[in-house]
Structure 1
Amino acid sequence: MEIKTAVLHILDLEGGSLICSKAPLTLSDYAVKTYLAGCLKKFQTADLKTGHLPTNNDIVAILRDPSLDFIGQSEAVAMILHDCLKQGQEIPGGDLLCFIGEQTNQAYFGVFKLNYKPAYTHYVDYEGENLFNNLIINQTILPNVTQKVEEGFWINLDTLEFELIEKKYSFDGQKTFYLSDLILKAEVTPTVQDNLKIVKKAVKEIADKYNEEKYVSFSNVQQAVYESIETEGKLSNEKIAEAVFEGNHSAKADYLERVEQTKFVEDVPINVPKYEKKYSKQKLKLANGIELTIPIDVYQDKELIEFINNPDGTISVMIKNVDDIINKF
């Protein structure tokens, strides 16, 4: 993604005001360029939800209004967010970074809410004629360039497809994903992590029901997730069911039925390499405190590692054929 133009508006929720800039940021400025690049990188590598805006959405009307230039569009969108958020409770203020970006010859309109973080800084003051340096807390510090973007979205201006990262806040006493529910007003697909939570919960319930070893079931889930993402670029629920409940047709059917009742989706729209890397190793913690990190291919090779069920109900882990041991102190 390359940002073509951008503007920064101040969303002062504590003071109840929206302070809109009338001029865009200077993209050639080193500090601006570096900060925006950091925001883009963190957003693109986040666990994003996806969706499609309905054409009757207020934001679509703004973006397609020929009488509005980019600054006017950004002000109108910022006002929608301000009017919504001032009705919520305990929502942090922040700056709204609005921008037009381009990626693979497609134009995007984006909004990142950069939540303020309190931080200490110095303050030069006087007592009479004497200068002294004091410490104060500045409540309106923007996130560091290395920190993740917590809230934001960008919209493909041609297709109206969007990608989104959001947080829940309280509105009328109820926790709500305000960006998708109140601003974009569109159905969103679960994130990869949301999908995996659905899978883990269903596997645990079915494993308990059929007295399956949960550590084995979860290890098989991770193996199936890794192979599915690597080979098919998606979370294949059939592959997961087959890997976890192989030979137990009743358990497999129960699992598939349980997942079908949720919002699980198989498509993994982005960040496939990120999840390939994350699930390429099994991480186990034993009851005696020993922790093991095992590459997927090693975990499946009984010539290298074996889990043995003992008659007394305990489990032994046998590591085999080790040529050398390196202490990574």
Structure 2
Amino acid sequence: MDIYIKQAVLHQFSPDDTELVLSDQLLTITPKIEEYLRKKIERVYSDDAKTGQLNSDNTFFELAQADLLEASIKIAPLWKEEFILSENQKTNDLLFVAYEKNGIEHFAFLRIALRENLVHIADNSDNPLMLTQNNLPSAGSAPDEAVIINLQSGKYHLIEKRIKYNGAFLNYFSDNLLQEKPRVSAKKSIQAVEKTAQKIADNFQEGDFQFQSKVKSAIFNNLEEDGELSPEKLANQLFDQNLTARLSFVDQLKEVVPEKIVFDEIDASRQLKKFENQKLSLSNGIELIVPNNIYQDAESVEFIQNENGTYSILIKNIEDIKNN
């Protein structure tokens, strides 16, 4: 991923007095800080991110296009007014970053909750371990919340956490700050595919382990070949012999995921890895992990249903066996 960090601003929110400490200058971008910011931004392009597109007259989008320091000083108080409703607050660093991705200008707003950590003080022999405040999490961890916006197209990726207020959970970031209804994340969309498929299969008495394996194979093959999941295409593959089931699957899935599941600038490798193998737990304690391409090959694996209702699994043409 070709990301070039241009500018950054750091503000801080303290829950003790619900105040913002606003910086009046840009961060000095050292190599370590550049690496930290770049890795944090890369983690936003994940299957956990909700996506969408802001219109040119969207208030947040207009603010994001201003000078970075000016934009951050205007956005941070808007964020605070929404976030202070939360019943569980911590000290947070608010990082605003201007960067280029593949030569296109982008804006990022990252909320990072600070941690308490023990550190070893070498010159203090009486008490070498001390608890320090305001520690940033590692570069490899995802931001607690973040929005990144393509300033050319208005496309955005959003990681948000609901806040609890008066017993209710609110999507304060998308509803109140962005004033947008983003698409469900790819991760949750795929979970909806699995859940809906299983529900429809159960309704038609088709929900055995072979159907669950069929779902995993269909998701893997479509992601690998097309880089997306179409409800209609999945319906044809999963319920090819049952028109009613196909229609029910598409209708129910579109209530949760109204559009194709796409990986727009998102790395699909985590989902591909999740579905690349079939993992079977047998009643006798045996566990099998079978790659999809082998699982679907009748010359390699055969599932036999016995007359008494039990199953036998025949694994064929094994050239070598190792005890790991």
Would the TM-score normalized by the shorter structure come out above 0.5? yes
Residue 204 of structure 2 is aligned to residue 210 of structure 1: yes
Residue 278 of structure 2 is aligned to residue 282 of structure 1: yes
Pick one of 173, 180, 192 that aligns with 2:174: 180
User: Which moved further from structure 2: 49-58 or 116-125?
Assistant: 116-125
Pick one of 217, 236, 240 that aligns with 1:246: 240
Which structure 2 residues correspond to residues 88-127 of structure 1 after superposition, within 5 A? Answer: 88-122=86-120
CA–CA distance in 2 between the matches of 1:124 and 1:229? 52
CA–CA distance in 1 between the matches of 2:254 and 2:285? 37
CA 1:154 to 1:232, structure 2 compared with 1: closer, same or farther past 3 Å?
same
Q: Output the TM-score relative to the length of structure 1.
A: 0.89
Asked if 1 retains the 8 angstrom alpha-carbon contact of 2:118 and 2:129, the reply is yes
CA RMSD in angstroms, aligned pairs only: 2.3
Query: Aligned partner of 2:69: which letter?
Result: I
Q: Deviations over 1:226-273 (max 9, x none)?
A: 221222221022222122222122222222222233234214122234
CA–CA distance in 2 between the matches of 1:226 and 1:244? 13
Query: Aligned partner of 2:38: which letter?
Result: A
How many residue pairs align between the two structures?
Answer: 320
- 1:101: Cα distance to partner? 0.9
CA–CA distance in 1 between the matches of 2:240 and 2:90? 48
User: Which moved further from structure 2: 99-108 or 50-59?
Assistant: 50-59
Partner of 2:45: 44
Partner of 2:157: 163
CA 1:5 to 1:244, structure 2 compared with 1: closer, same or farther past 3 Å?
same
CA–CA distance in 2 between the matches of 1:56 and 1:173? 33
- 1:217: Cα distance to partner? 1.8
Asked if 1 retains the 8 angstrom alpha-carbon contact of 2:189 and 2:261, the reply is no
Asked if 2 retains the 8 angstrom alpha-carbon contact of 1:42 and 1:149, the reply is yes
- 1:46: Cα distance to partner? 4.7
Residue 4 of structure 2 is aligned to residue 2 of structure 1: yes
Q: Output the TM-score relative to the length of structure 2.
A: 0.90
Partner of 1:312: 308
CA–CA distance in 1 between the matches of 2:47 and 2:200? 31
Q: Deviations over 1:268-327 (max 9, x none)?
A: 122234433432222222233322221111000122112222223222222222111123
Pick one of 227, 230, 233 that aligns with 1:236: 230
Residue 144 of structure 2 is aligned to residue 150 of structure 1: yes
Asked if 2 retains the 8 angstrom alpha-carbon contact of 1:150 and 1:166, the reply is yes
Partner of 1:72: 70
**Structure 2 unaligned blocks of 5 or more:** none
- Give the SS at the match of 1:242: helix
- Give the SS at the match of 1:189: coil
CA–CA distance in 2 between the matches of 1:173 and 1:123? 43
Identity score, percent: 30
Which structure 2 residues correspond to residues 249-260 of structure 1 after superposition, within 5 A? Answer: 249-260=243-254
Q: Deviations over 1:65-116 (max 9, x none)?
A: 5xxx321211111111111111221133311110111113321111111112
Partner of 2:257: 263
- 1:157: Cα distance to partner? 1.7
Partner of 1:325: 321
Asked if 1 retains the 8 angstrom alpha-carbon contact of 2:47 and 2:187, the reply is no
- 1:165: Cα distance to partner? 1.1
- Give the SS at the match of 1:111: strand
Q: Deviations over 1:167-219 (max 9, x none)?
A: 12212321122221121110111111111121122112111111113322221
- Give the SS at the match of 1:132: coil
Asked if 1 retains the 8 angstrom alpha-carbon contact of 2:47 and 2:185, the reply is no
CA 1:223 to 1:172, structure 2 compared with 1: closer, same or farther past 3 Å?
same
CA–CA distance in 2 between the matches of 1:158 and 1:96? 23
